[in-house]
Structure 1
């Protein structure tokens, strides 16, 4: 019997909650995955379109007026992401995560009482300021601490929660809308957020107390002493931020316009929506696949492949040739969309110390959100001016093709995975039981 097994349970904490299963690294990763299916961007971004028509018909606001609320939330989320990373690195994950979940749920439920556009926009803006604790930054911080040699796969599993949420959240929103109207539906989404995410945040998701030791040949200065200013001055930081921004401009900017683009070209609404579902499914494949491969192949090479895949998708959409089925573009977009968040998190963990991970990834995630907003706006403005998306897609093609080669300038990992000793699956449960 180990010392950890003889240790009494913490006061007020049932011994059941200290069961080894709940403290296993893959259980923690699974709880993080589940939380991301109902939290973060899928909960509001992917349900807003379902509610939009009902909101405008009920209130008399224009679609542009109502959409302003979503834009405010996205941009404030982007601005606050680096700050959230600093808070998480300073105070840990659990406290900020639980506080963020409670405040976000309260604000979402409060949308049911918003009878003016100003109140509606103010609540969405408030959500943008407080929902950072349930974005990938917090969960990936936990995973990076628990996993080393299988870190890429673990990050892919957790990030797949975003793709899974994208597949079921719009359907849940539609059911709530039909049953309770848009105001009651937002109350339902708030309840769903708490039911799915809060138990894991309270009882399962935790950081590893003892860091995974690095081989002597790659020991660096203590992670707690690492300088954020020095990290922000490295080429690796700016390459990751620029790559995240450009890929989000192209891929995330194109995705919301795909249904309109396909129906403009004569496709039925049902076919276009079906292709969007295909993109969501391949987004999950992209996240899992990129993470699995990153544990075996140098990640910048994979990043280059993702950018070239996105360029191919843009080429298919731009050419609009009968020899190139639209499904090819949708599959390529889904794969690249799925891989981007996973790879960016993995590379951040290999080029920067774990003590700075949340702060570094906060900047990267902010770039992803900003890029998404810029891309969506650019596509809309191009269509309004020219009645076609073609020129914007052509620009996106060139951007992702050229930017992809930046990843080759990252150089060797600064914090490579351990090459000796037991695999993660063997040593991490042991550490968990002693935590």
Structure 2
């Protein structure tokens, strides 16, 4: 039925744009599993159950690592069952997870709740849309992926305030139940009725290009297979490992810095009220990315863009060593937000540009392991820097060295030949 709906709507414009819109909605509904959403519930857990912040943080990190390791299986399931089936399934499971989290009462239940939120929300509901959208776009792929990220940006802007309002008004249990209802009655029906796995399923081509051949579906599949790497083939290329390691850097820096952000700003003499303003600025450059994607990322070699962003990120991290005022901190965070958004879109483009469309889910699933592990361990070096030296200067030097290493790796990558 969804194919008939898609063909009907395609008469009014390329259906890929509607797929992109739905995928951005799915990215928004990954919010229950994102740190910016879960963090609002932490104080309620501590107040309700009397657990320490260290204990809650530790089980959160363990749950994140475990969920990241399992992402490779989600990627394989996307290739086997298709994005539509997986989006509906994950949507239903995340609905049940939200209701489960409304009943947590002890550490084992909180751990299970964190794991399911990270596995289904932060992991699966970002992996699947990121594998679906590149199936529908080729020449405008970077633009499409950058627009996809707006789902996460709006989640970052809106969800913390929504969670806080629901918790303060109705309690944390009912806040989780509200997410369950939203997932069940908004996300799941949209994914069920409107998602189509790839344009070829309804007789189209990426970017709505005109068919210039009389190929059968099997012949189209064979042509795609000749250009696509399997996961095992991708794992044998240095590009998979180099790009994977590069993709760890930003989640590691971002998670560590944001987790300790108010402490970091205090070490610079910046008050909490000003720090709250500064941290919100990180989302603003994301609205410029669609323009940058269309003018730069779609037109220039990915390795050169990676080298540029990693070089700018190195300079920005070293600039933090000199930050002392709110204006300087704002400049740092705006540059950081811009550079990291460009790099994230570029790495997402690389996976499909280098390894093809056919096994993209499996390859993206394996690649997600790098990002989740980087995110899970990001808080540790920042904490060590503060505990051992009394400030965060040392960790920013270490992170700058890591970005330089990533820049060297980017120098040696090129599109692999199957």
- 1:74 matched to 2:64? The reply is yes
Alignment partners' CA distance in 1, 2:301 and 2:235: 22
Q: State which of 23, 27, 33 in structure 1 corresponds to 2:18.
A: 27
Query: Could you say which residue in structure 2 is the equivalent of 1:359?
Result: 362
Alignment partners' CA distance in 2, 1:221 and 1:283: 32
Which stretch of the first structure deviates more once superposed, 226-235 or 272-281?
Answer: 226-235
- 1:395 matched to 2:385? The reply is no
Instruction: State the SS of the aligned residue for 1:135.
Output: helix
Q: Residue 49 of structure 2 contacts residue 105 of structure 2 at CA under 8 Å; is this kept in 1? A: yes
Q: Deviations over 1:294-320 (max 9, x none)?
A: 111212111112112221221121233
Q: Residue 252 of structure 2 contacts residue 374 of structure 2 at CA under 8 Å; is this kept in 1? A: yes
Query: Could you say which residue in structure 1 is the equivalent of 2:142?
Result: 152
| 1:230-269 aligned within 5 A | 230-269=233-272
- RMSD between aligned alpha carbons? 3.0
Cα separation, partners in 2 of 1:255 and 1:387, compared to 1, 3 Å:
same
Alignment partners' CA distance in 1, 2:196 and 2:28: 18
Using structure 1 for the length normalisation, give the TM-score: 0.84
Alignment size in residue pairs = 402
Cα separation, partners in 2 of 1:302 and 1:376, compared to 1, 3 Å:
same
Alignment partners' CA distance in 2, 1:90 and 1:410: 29
Long gaps (5+) in structure 2: 214-221
Alignment partners' CA distance in 2, 1:324 and 1:178: 33
Q: Residue 283 of structure 1 contacts residue 337 of structure 1 at CA under 8 Å; is this kept in 2? A: no
Q: State which of 288, 299, 303 in structure 2 corresponds to 1:285.
A: 288
| 1:325-344 aligned within 5 A | 325-344=328-347
Q: Residue 306 of structure 1 contacts residue 336 of structure 1 at CA under 8 Å; is this kept in 2? A: yes
Q: Residue 98 of structure 1 contacts residue 198 of structure 1 at CA under 8 Å; is this kept in 2? A: yes
How far has the Cα of 1:392 moved from its partner? 0.8
Query: Could you say which residue in structure 1 is the equivalent of 2:106?
Result: 116
| 1:180-191 aligned within 5 A | 180-191=170-181
How far has the Cα of 1:237 moved from its partner? 0.7
Which stretch of the first structure deviates more once superposed, 140-149 or 63-72?
Answer: 63-72
Q: State which of 180, 204, 221 in structure 1 corresponds to 2:194.
A: 204
Using structure 2 for the length normalisation, give the TM-score: 0.87
Alignment partners' CA distance in 2, 1:340 and 1:252: 16
Alignment partners' CA distance in 1, 2:224 and 2:283: 41
Q: Residue 287 of structure 1 contacts residue 335 of structure 1 at CA under 8 Å; is this kept in 2? A: no
Q: State which of 23, 27, 34 in structure 2 corresponds to 1:36.
A: 27
Cα separation, partners in 2 of 1:326 and 1:359, compared to 1, 3 Å:
same
Long gaps (5+) in structure 1: 1-9, 416-435
Q: Residue 313 of structure 1 contacts residue 328 of structure 1 at CA under 8 Å; is this kept in 2? A: no
- 1:173 matched to 2:163? The reply is yes
Alignment partners' CA distance in 2, 1:174 and 1:404: 40
- 1:94 matched to 2:94? The reply is no
